[in-house]
Amino acid sequence: EDREDWWTRADPKGIAPVIAVPTTAGTGSEVGRAAVITDESDHTKKIIFHPKMMPVDVICDPELTTGLPPHITAATGMDALSHNLEAWCSPFWHPLAQGVALEGMRIVKDWLPEATRRGSNVEARAFMLAASSMGATAFQKGLGSMHAMSHPCSSLRGTHHGLTNAVVMPYVLVHNKAAVEEKLTAAARYLDLRKQSFSGFMDWVLALREEVGIPNTLKEIGVDLDVIPEAAPMALEDPCTGGNPLPMSASDYEALYAKAIEGRLA
């Protein structure tokens, strides 16, 4: 597990070389040294890490993704957006990741609707593979409460990870507004949005979700209010919480889950 120096306990001789061949455009696993597993004993998602898990070769062939149905294209593509977006908003210092994250968001803006609408468009698929790899490169800077909220939903209710990130995205952005307004205004300018402000960025996120068929609430994907007592403490303990632009408490997560389940952005 990715804790302190635990990775040094592994025998590197037992780790086979990894050759990564992405068949979705979202997680960016092909540029990572980690994997996520679900611990069925306590329903938590845990990260396992070792430097030798970094792929030695990567084959990013967009034609391998043309068979993805629209709803999976949308959910995985929004996962790529969440990686770039949370990296951009992370309070940590990593100028290289900042630039990668910003351009990754632009690629998603320009190409995810087309990849979802016309899956056979190899150019759109290629750009989304790039955005996916860029997101996983950028999130070395940090992730935040979108992922911290998504992980318990996936482990407790079996929701799709990328889809869950997409659903909670606007609720987390509104919660973090005081800390991210300046960054999202800058992002809105880079993306050449009609309104170059925090509200303009929010309008774009909401419009993109609607365009690619993302539900508005967690309730629509099987997460009800009864999950909150268990999910909120899990979100607080999730490693991604440490990268959120604002400090989080259990009560913050309880309120955010309730809003995302009931569809209350304000």
Residue 175: pLDDT band (50, 70, 90) is very high
- Across the range 20-39, mean pLDDT stands at 92
Q: What is the pLDDT of residue 150?
A: 98
Q: What is the pLDDT of residue 42?
A: 82
- Across the range 104-120, mean pLDDT stands at 99
Give the DSSP H/E element, type plus range, for residue 228: helix 228-237
Q: What is the pLDDT of residue 49?
A: 86
Least confident of 48-52, 103-107, 115-119: 48-52
Q: What is the pLDDT of residue 112?
A: 99
Tell me how far apart the alpha carbons of residues 120 and 164 are, in angstroms, rounded to a whole number. 25
pLDDT of 40 strictly over 90: no
- Across the range 176-187, mean pLDDT stands at 99
User: What angle in degrees, to the nearest 10, is found between the helix axes of 70-89 and 95-117?
Assistant: 160
Q: What is the pLDDT of residue 215?
A: 99
Nearest to 237 by CA among 147, 159, 154: 147
Residue 35 near residue 20, CB atoms below 8 Å? no
Q: What is the pLDDT of residue 158?
A: 95
Nearest to 26 by CA among 95, 93, 107: 107
Tell me, what amino acid is at 42? Answer: D
Q: What is the pLDDT of residue 44?
A: 80
Least confident of 27-36, 115-124, 195-204: 27-36
Q: What is the pLDDT of residue 61?
A: 98
Give the DSSP H/E element, type plus range, for residue 108: helix 95-117
Q: What is the pLDDT of residue 1?
A: 74
- Across the range 68-88, mean pLDDT stands at 99
- Across the range 251-263, mean pLDDT stands at 99
Mean pLDDT (the chain, rounded): 96
pLDDT of 2 strictly over 80: no
Residue 178: pLDDT band (50, 70, 90) is very high
| pTM for the model | 0.94
* Residue 115: Cβ-neighbour burial (10 angstroms; 0-12, 13-18, 19+): buried
pLDDT of 229 strictly over 90: yes
Structure token pair of residue 18 = 């990894």
Residue 58 Cα distances to 34, 38, 85, 124, angstroms: 15, 25, 24, 19
Q: Can you list the domains of the chain with their CATH numbers?
A: 65-262 (1.20.1090.10)
